Structure 1
Amino acid sequence: MSRPQLRKDAHVYRFRKRVPADLVAVVGRREVVFSLRTSDPKEAKRLHSEELAKLESQWADLRRRPSNGTTDAKPAVMEYSAAPRSLSERQAAERAQWMYVHWLGLYRENPSQQRFWPTDLYHHLWRASPGSVENRDDGRTTVRAALDLRSVEKVEELQRWCRLQAETVLDLHDVDADEISTLRVAKAVASQVQRASLALAALARGEPEAPPMAPQAAASPMSQPAVKPVLLSELIEAWWRQAERTGKSPSTRESYTNTMRQLHAFLDHEDARRVTADDVRRFRDFRLASKKRNGEPLSAATVKNSDLAALKSVFGWAVVDGRLPVNPAVDVNVARVAKIKLREREFTTEEARAILQASMHLQAGRELPQTLAAKRWIPWVLAFTGARVGEIAQMRRQDLHLKQIEGHPEGVWVLRITPEAGAVKTKQAREVPLHPQLIELGFPAFVQSVREERLFLVPGTEGAITGPLQAVKNRLGEFAREHVSDRGVSPNHGWRHRFRTVATEAGISANVIDALCGWATKNVGDRYGSVSLKTKADAILRIPQFRI
């Protein structure tokens, strides 16, 4: 069965189908080959199916037409490509001319930032011998290595990169080139990058720029694939199609997508190929000077761990995937600032009591019933589970069960925190017994009274919860801030810190606390064995109640 194909070391899929023997004379070729212009396997499969259906339809139409000696249908099929399989050195050089203008344009404003291509290694590319032969005085022969191990690895990286550029441009132009021709284009690409890099090095030294290339070279139609915009919006979606399969969470997708939108708005263009390291630095400084919705400035940690992490990850993936030549964010960082600590990171007993007491005296207003329920119950659940706020805010009705456990004759209400409900940092489900005070307050009865699946949020289109979940977390943070104004404690995460402190004071062992809160094990030994549900239930009983 015909399926999308990848040539060796290529990243762009292509369509390849043998022409039926009875149609070869009419079509004028034995095989149809053309690029699908995508590196995403799912998209390639979809496009392949569409193109195969079109082709089969055309062939069926050819068979239905009377045989009168004409080949009037031939042009409709020939649109797929009649590119040569073998390229001369001149043809290979023509297909690489665009790279000089493109590479020079990437770094012309700041030529010293071109550090990907070391010009001193160019003459070592595709060399058969890695060293030189020396005749010693004693008559023996010694082979002296020309490069150290790091340089050898860099040479191999440059060769792979040049081949990838060659494969990409050949696929974009539907050129089904043979191995020798592909290597010729790769070498021609290397030559153009070397020329451009030498010109950039001269600019970095303050020397005047060399005269521009001949107009016909700069305007060559072969340069079109290089200057075709790589849109930030398309880049993030392509990144997500692969990242999703590696276990990245939808919240990461939303965060990275927001960063790309902000970068687009800041630069006033969406072409990822035009983004330079200077652009990323300016964007970083802009974000550091920005403020959150509540008027507070963005922290350096947020810019580093959210904005820069997104750019480095997506642009880095794009380089590996052959969509970008370099990662403009790779060397951009945020200076680490020592955070002044004036208090412990958990809520004090008085602060916790203030929030919990306020949650019991809420009045219905204009907000959604789910938001009101979140403010009423989630602070209490966090206080007695040590869970992350998002793990509880995304809770479903079916995540709470009454289980029979030895030593607990009346049964134990158990909350199951699971990736099936949404994002869980460790990507592992865990069970947390409810504290008796939660049962006395009526939390299980509340859960059973809810008709919808989600307790604290209203899913978006097609059941999406990422946006609504963040909204609930924001409302909870604002609610806690109304009663605990000290910025030294997080309005949501302060519960998690407090739980560990209280559990430790109650004599609960560290491994049981980790199992209850979903903390990853600290060493290999901790990964052996497990903490039983009975042990967890016994431990929860040791947590003191709140006096409200």
Structure 2
Amino acid sequence: MVLAMSRPFKHPKTGVYYFRKAVPDDLRAVIGKREEKISLRTKSPAEARVAYAQIAAEVENRWKALRSKPEPLTYRQIVALAGEAYRELVHAVGDNPGDPEIWTHVLRLQFEARAFEQQEAWMGPHVDDLLLRKGISTDPDSRRRLIEELDKALIQAAAVLKRNAEGDYRPDPDAERFPQWDVPKPVSAAPVASAGRWTLTGLVEDWWKEASAAGTKPATYESYRNTMSKFVAFLGHDDASRITGDDVVGFKDHRLAEVNPRTGKPISPKTVKDSDLSGLKSIFAWAVSNRRMTENPATGITIKLGKKVKLRPKGFTDEEALALLKAAWNHRPGREHPKLAAAKKWTPWLCAYTGARIGEMVQLRKEDVRQVGEHWVLTITPEAGTVKTNEAREVVLHSHLVELGFPAFIASCELGHLFLTPAPDGTLRGPWRTAKNRVTEFVRTVVTDPNVQPNHGWRHRVKTVGMEVGMAPRVLDAMQGHSPKTAGDTYGDVTIKALALEVAKLPRYEVDVVTQKASL
């Protein structure tokens, strides 16, 4: 199949047009894939041609930036780039800016990020995307100053859009402060190292062909692929035959010195050990066993982790649980998709009474919920998406969920996923991740303690409450998808009747949606 296409590609099933282009050989290690494939979000040939040209230019600019040597930006260029972002946002949203409260909230978040010196986490990803779209590779100091200017520009844009939302469309008198952006003169491209017989990125892809057939999760593949891309970028070449133990040690030290752009904090040693080093060891071990490499250069290289300071229990407190459920029940959709609004309302309640993982809840389908006698049963199955154990399990819904109207909500939905919409090509991974992240962000607005995980806190709480009320351990484990503790626990089945008897022991979370008072 020819991937270097010069015109939009029409999906044979959906009719949606796509941009598709093969990634050049010298950039595949850095980008981490062999093809750029981007939905043009239209079935109109005319609209597709316009969108195709725009995305083609952006892709070429990204590739140019990745090939270029970092060059400093002048202050005028930095302000001009911030102006580009300002104009893009105002142009994209100005005609339909929505409720003024949206922009009041955005402004509040902007000022909070500034007050807590979180501009790197808040603005850093936007800056990186802007630089790539413009084809710019710059130095750390220029990037830092661009973060500051983009912060100012987006606050200015949010204020303009708030006025637009209030019906005030007078021109922004300060918009002229941004100079015109002029494309910098091209800089020399960085040399690309030649590869030997086996490439590092190729090892990951070959490993995945076997691992996917054996049931390995896509998340593991994504983690290994991202780690290898970072390793290749650190080395400056993609030749597996040239790797030494010193290279791995150097990469480990490099990663420990890096800053996470989302949090503004250094990469944690646990992440480097459990994600980066573990990924390299696994891929290299596979390469050795498949005669791609003669030895595993990551063998014996590790990080000794100290015991993590524990400041609180892992589960939600009574107060946190009630506050979160109250916020979820009273959530009212704004301009978000109805399925996402439903996810914010129902998934916290489902997690509270099932102890399921948030990813398992956001991928639920209508056909996964059924009535068996007097009980409503929810099936968590790999057919719907990702299940950590690769095994389907059943959970009986608590009577309170039935009283709150969850079965009625199910009846009102069409067949298919309740809380997300698959991508035009039928894949779920992207929409699933987006839905999960949006729910997590919603939870974080209520439970702000960074020492408790925003959704996993329910799994710990259900286990704690289950023990307090005397739920049978084996049934509690089966409900949450935990492995049997002994060989004897694998004998016999945890039936719907057994589940119903134990789930009924969980106390109700009483939330008064009228007075907004809650109690256990």
TM-score range with shorter-chain normalisation? 0.5 to 0.7
1:353 and 2:322 are equivalent in the alignment: yes
Identify the residue that residue 309 of structure 1 maps to in structure 2.
278
TM-score under structure 2 length normalisation: 0.58
Identify the match of residue 213 of structure 2 among 227, 232, 245.
Answer: 245
CA distance in 2: counterparts of 1:503 and 1:238, whole angstroms: 44
Identify the residue that residue 371 of structure 2 maps to in structure 1.
402
CA distance in 1: counterparts of 2:420 and 2:330, whole angstroms: 21
Identify the match of residue 236 of structure 1 among 184, 192, 204.
Answer: 204
Query: What does residue range 1-20 of structure 1 map to in structure 2 within 5 Å?
Result: none
CA contact (8 A) 2:369 2:377 kept: yes
- Are the structure 2 counterparts of residues 335 and 292 from structure 1 closer, same or farther at C-alpha, using a change threshold of 3 Å? farther
- Are the structure 2 counterparts of residues 274 and 476 from structure 1 closer, same or farther at C-alpha, using a change threshold of 3 Å? farther
- Are the structure 2 counterparts of residues 472 and 280 from structure 1 closer, same or farther at C-alpha, using a change threshold of 3 Å? farther
CA contact (8 A) 2:195 2:237 kept: no
CA distance in 2: counterparts of 1:292 and 1:535, whole angstroms: 47
1:445 and 2:408 are equivalent in the alignment: yes
Identify the match of residue 390 of structure 2 among 427, 440, 443.
Answer: 427
- Are the structure 2 counterparts of residues 299 and 525 from structure 1 closer, same or farther at C-alpha, using a change threshold of 3 Å? same
Per the alignment, in what secondary structure is the counterpart of residue 270 of structure 1? coil
Identify the residue that residue 360 of structure 2 maps to in structure 1.
391
CA distance in 1: counterparts of 2:242 and 2:429, whole angstroms: 31
Higher-Rg structure is 1
Name the amino acid aligned to 1:287.
R
Query: What does residue range 455-474 of structure 1 map to in structure 2 within 5 Å?
Result: 455-460=418-423, 462-474=425-437
Identify the match of residue 247 of structure 2 among 260, 276, 279.
Answer: 279
Identify the residue that residue 494 of structure 1 maps to in structure 2.
457
Deviation at 1:458, TM superposition (A): 2.6
CA distance in 2: counterparts of 1:458 and 1:294, whole angstroms: 29
Q: Deviations over 1:54-84 (max 9, x none)?
A: xxxxxxxxxxxxxxxxxxxxxxxxxxxxxxx
Name the amino acid aligned to 1:470.
R
Per the alignment, in what secondary structure is the counterpart of residue 401 of structure 1? strand
Deviation at 1:260, TM superposition (A): 1.9
Identify the residue that residue 517 of structure 1 maps to in structure 2.
480
Deviation at 1:492, TM superposition (A): 1.2
Name the amino acid aligned to 1:394.
Q
Percent identity between the aligned chains? 48
- Are the structure 2 counterparts of residues 367 and 331 from structure 1 closer, same or farther at C-alpha, using a change threshold of 3 Å? farther
CA distance in 1: counterparts of 2:421 and 2:269, whole angstroms: 32
CA distance in 1: counterparts of 2:249 and 2:411, whole angstroms: 52
CA contact (8 A) 1:346 1:489 kept: yes
CA distance in 2: counterparts of 1:374 and 1:303, whole angstroms: 32
Identify the match of residue 535 of structure 1 among 491, 498, 501.
Answer: 498
Identify the residue that residue 236 of structure 2 maps to in structure 1.
268
- Are the structure 2 counterparts of residues 348 and 504 from structure 1 closer, same or farther at C-alpha, using a change threshold of 3 Å? same
Identify the residue that residue 332 of structure 1 maps to in structure 2.
301
Deviation at 1:328, TM superposition (A): 1.9
Please tell me the root mean square deviation across aligned C-alpha atoms, in Å: 2.0
CA contact (8 A) 1:251 1:466 kept: no
CA contact (8 A) 1:371 1:457 kept: yes
- Are the structure 2 counterparts of residues 538 and 340 from structure 1 closer, same or farther at C-alpha, using a change threshold of 3 Å? same
After TM superposition, the runs of 4+ consecutive aligned structure 1 residues lying more than 6 A away are: none
Per the alignment, in what secondary structure is the counterpart of residue 371 of structure 2? strand
TM-score under structure 1 length normalisation: 0.55
Identify the residue that residue 185 of structure 1 maps to in structure 2.
none
Q: Deviations over 1:357-408 (max 9, x none)?
A: 111222323443332222111111000001112111221221111111xxxx
Name the amino acid aligned to 1:314.
I
Name the amino acid aligned to 1:357.
K
